[in-house]
Amino acid sequence: MASVGLNEREQAGCRQLLEFLETQELMALTDTVTNRLVHPENRQEAIHAILVYSQSVEELLRRRKVYREIIFKYLAAQGIPVPPSSEKQLLIDRVKQYWSEQLGTRTVESEGRKPHAEVSAAF
């Protein structure tokens, strides 16, 4: 079944990131994402609903209930250094970059988009 929302790597990363939220915050985020149509029984159901009903990583991470500090803590836990004073959008961009590197798509995309690729002459 093809997913319109998040790919596997994004789902795994978002799942880890959402674990940093308190249960009450997680339930409130579920209400927001699902327009109060889904009523999870526990944290895992809440996370599942958030992942299923989120349209994109950007849309999920930009939500007010996903605090800048949560994204910062996630990046720190992954060993990704970012300045503590970083704005939320910079942290979101760094998370997306990290996940695309995990997929190996970052290199392919950057090589495919170079209008004039460097040619090294070995002779």
The answer to whether the predicted template modeling score (pTM) of the entire model surpasses 0.85 is no
Task: Specify whether the CB–CB gap between 77 and 98 falls below 8 A.
Answer: no
Question: Tens place of pLDDT for every residue, the chain, 123 residues?
Answer: 344 689 999 999 999 999 999 999 999 999 999 999 999 999 999 999 999 999 999 999 999 999 999 999 999 999 999 999 999 999 999 999 999 987 664 444 444 444 443 444 444
Both structure tokens of 97: 């970059």
Buried b (16+ CB within 10 A) or exposed e, 7-34: eebbbebbeebbebbeeebbbebbbebb
- DSSP 8-state secondary structure symbol assigned to residue 110: H
Amino acid at 15: R
Task: Specify whether the CB–CB gap between 111 and 117 falls below 8 A.
Answer: yes
| Domain parsing of the chain, residue ranges | 8-105
